[in-house]
Structure 1
């Protein structure tokens, strides 16, 4: 055998050993070819999440609830999900570029560790000491890992219940629902989980297009740090409806907006689903006193849309939702007031004409209560929950599931996990009629002690979109927050193939 042939054979063998799934076939697919097998779905082995800085006032109480649903990983596989605090901000790190985050005082001591699926772990932080957190789950805790960050502020200008499902770091986020208007203080929080710096562009879009800002050269976010940016300080333009677009030039970040309103409380605004021709915004409470829809059309095409409410009995077009025109590159707001009329529902935004879809992103600003007892929350457009979605930090009272089947009927299975301090899981299935929203109090584990996780799995039928509302009334104020149910992507397709080395012979 020629030396060249031997070298090629060795190289091909090494390559197959490293990749584990490369396929080499003979040209023409003759009798010597090995057909690639269908991909198989296997549990993911690593999951990363970032939580923005929660502390802003001495009267805030924050809890982080870490949860992985049972049955998602390989039996007996070890691993752990660990959240570590970001002790210093990006600005502080920039002043000390040589600082090693692993050696920061208190970081290891304040870590939150989940060692087994099926039972949540909870950690609490008092006052303004709640930092950002960076987390990594491995092994059996990785598939479906979710973390809920919940902050209760019972007095002052930032009063409210702020909830957020901590997100995976990415390179791009669309966050409609923000504002630079008087009476609002909105911060976009950028958190870099990696060991290398990231550079992000932060663009703001209002009713007349992109706002002029001082963020034109890229925003540096140091390795392992978090950076809050007050939107009203980077632009002189006051706009009631703003879409925040975060895109990294290098690295990746987590991004979310913390919104505080003088009269109506505060909450987090999570990133919306990626731009698409239609948007589903699930989980408007039955007693909502004000609902405002904000839609942005990225790109260079206008969007002509219709707005429908999917309630318990079907889809209707509410007053004012017959036609919504959104100009390219601009953000449009639509006031729908008390659109639910006492029945929980979800908004569906779709092209006014079939076949004329323009990608959009959307979010809702929802208010409950009146006068001094108002409270605000935000609902971003969300994609289907897919095979499975989970949400953590559910209490014995106050958790409501909203499930919407926009087009076709569906059936889902809901599992309430064991509690953090005790209790037995409970499983129940629900049928959702086509074009409707089903809002039900979340079932509670038997013998519950502490908070628990909820997992929703699609059993049959069409796509389902959903959210969880957590309500914790305080002194007459209906404090609440809404988190979308997102596909947990707990499994990944892995191609199954074999190497055919006949291609290396003459």
Structure 2
């Protein structure tokens, strides 16, 4: 009896262990499946698909930098805001009040100028720096990516790259140099350290001496830097020398409109960079009050990959077809950069690709006789132009009707120190051209930087 009972109990324990093993086995299979199902249900890739673009926010803090140059810097407000900006000019620190419609001037040396502005004025501060005999430097916020086309590193034509770091930490810059035969090996231009609140100047003729046309792509990999190019043309054996600031291009484009042609006999070289890895072609046309047209004898230009090409426009821009011409339009299937370098009357000047302006903008005017060149309208519209002297007195108030496929010239009073341009119904590209005898300075119209971007940051899976 007891043995039978024992056998029965032993059988029950065996069946119980079997059931426990079956449950464990099932859980070992089911739990991973449930986990995988849960993860699939979360679908982390949805977060990527649901990513949102950065939000625009009003600019309440800004830094504006002018490269080293003349002893004075002009300031104004391009909006209705007024206020005080703190600045460093060379080794001098100070503050100055800035108001719309008039020009404030600070002086203190030929070093770089750095203005730090907070509040409503940050979105409208405009600065300008002009050298003698006549040259205009662009003052702007630090940018991480800029292109300079038509620089030199030889005895006759040479350039100096100036890097200004406005911040308390060091910055690092890389510059890629392009020549007529491709990318130039220039290790001295890679990993350039710019000390905190310091300036570095690189004379290309000393770093990479060459006689061909060059272009340089400047990128900031650490910190913030404002990059500028001071260009110099020298006549060997005669002592003749001229300097001018070469403005940058923000990015390569398939349509490059250059305003600010110069009258008189001399050299005019259109310099083109094809940064792509494939060959492309460029079509060159002239902009006049009557049309945008192709001049006789100027063929399509073949642009080798990652190379610089120079096209002489001396005869084209002084021939019979050039009467009334105000600019050059370069179109290409692939994005390229472009600059027109003119050496006329022993003066050096540059016309560089501009960007369309769609909102009211303000530009500070160099001394001398002046004219405003407009072109590139994408539709019929109007452009209101208001010229003021440094005290804010209105000297001229004009409204110009513009349309696509035409160039327009607006005379500006000589005493103009401040110009406000307001397009309506169309975007427009413009340049203020100042002349004083044979000296020429070209100042591009640029949209005011009135807002910043705030990244979309949300919780997500690691």
Question: What stretches of structure 1 of length at least 5 have no aligned partner?
Answer: 1-26, 28-38, 55-60, 88-106, 154-160, 352-356, 496-506
Q: TM-score, normalised by structure 1?
A: 0.73
Taking the TM superposition and a 5 Å limit, the aligned residue runs for 1:38-57 are: 43-54=58-69
Match of 1:403, SS state, is strand
- Residue aligning to 1:458: 423
- Residue aligning to 2:188: 215
Taking the TM superposition and a 5 Å limit, the aligned residue runs for 1:269-280 are: 269-280=246-257
Taking the TM superposition and a 5 Å limit, the aligned residue runs for 1:477-488 are: 478-488=438-448
- Residue aligning to 1:312: 289
- Residue aligning to 2:327: 346
- Residue aligning to 1:489: 449
8 Å CA contact retained: 1:191, 1:255: yes
Match of 1:119, SS state, is coil
8 Å CA contact retained: 1:192, 1:225: yes
C-alpha distance in structure 2 between counterparts of 1:378 and 1:65, whole Å: 21
Alignment RMSD: 3.1
Change in 2 beyond 3 A, CA 1:83/1:425:
farther
Change in 2 beyond 3 A, CA 1:409/1:41:
farther
C-alpha distance in structure 2 between counterparts of 1:204 and 1:304, whole Å: 21
Give per-residue Cα distances to partners, 1:280-318, cap 9 Å, x unaligned.
111213446432111111131222110111111111112
Task: Give every structure 1 segment of 4 or more consecutive aligned residues whose post-TM-superposition deviation is greater than 6 Å.
Answer: 39-42
C-alpha distance in structure 2 between counterparts of 1:184 and 1:237, whole Å: 10
The Cα of 1:413 is off from its aligned counterpart by 1.3
1:83 matched to 2:87? The reply is yes
C-alpha distance in structure 1 between counterparts of 2:248 and 2:263, whole Å: 24
Aligned residues: 402
8 Å CA contact retained: 1:286, 1:345: no
Match of 2:132, SS state, is strand
C-alpha distance in structure 2 between counterparts of 1:280 and 1:172, whole Å: 20
- Residue aligning to 2:78: 69
- Residue aligning to 2:374: 403
Taking the TM superposition and a 5 Å limit, the aligned residue runs for 1:435-454 are: 435-443=405-413, 452-454=417-419
Give per-residue Cα distances to partners, 1:347-380, cap 9 Å, x unaligned.
11112xxxxx2111111102333xxxx2110111
The Cα of 1:458 is off from its aligned counterpart by 1.3
- Residue aligning to 1:322: 299
1:331 matched to 2:308? The reply is yes
Query: Of the candidates 156, 159, 162, which is equivalent to residue 186 of structure 1?
Result: 159
- Residue aligning to 1:34: none
Taking the TM superposition and a 5 Å limit, the aligned residue runs for 1:167-178 are: 167-178=140-151
Query: Of the candidates 366, 372, 382, which is equivalent to residue 342 of structure 2?
Result: 366
Change in 2 beyond 3 A, CA 1:82/1:472:
farther
Query: Of the candidates 147, 154, 173, which is equivalent to residue 200 of structure 1?
Result: 173
C-alpha distance in structure 2 between counterparts of 1:152 and 1:480, whole Å: 11
C-alpha distance in structure 2 between counterparts of 1:409 and 1:387, whole Å: 16
Taking the TM superposition and a 5 Å limit, the aligned residue runs for 1:118-267 are: 118-124=101-107, 129-153=109-133, 161-215=134-188, 217-239=190-212, 241-262=213-234, 263=240, 265-267=242-244
Q: Which has the higher helix share?
A: 2
1:297 matched to 2:274? The reply is yes
C-alpha distance in structure 2 between counterparts of 1:338 and 1:197, whole Å: 48
8 Å CA contact retained: 1:122, 1:420: no
1:469 matched to 2:442? The reply is no
Change in 2 beyond 3 A, CA 1:335/1:120:
same
Match of 1:48, SS state, is strand
8 Å CA contact retained: 1:273, 1:380: no
Change in 2 beyond 3 A, CA 1:204/1:365:
same
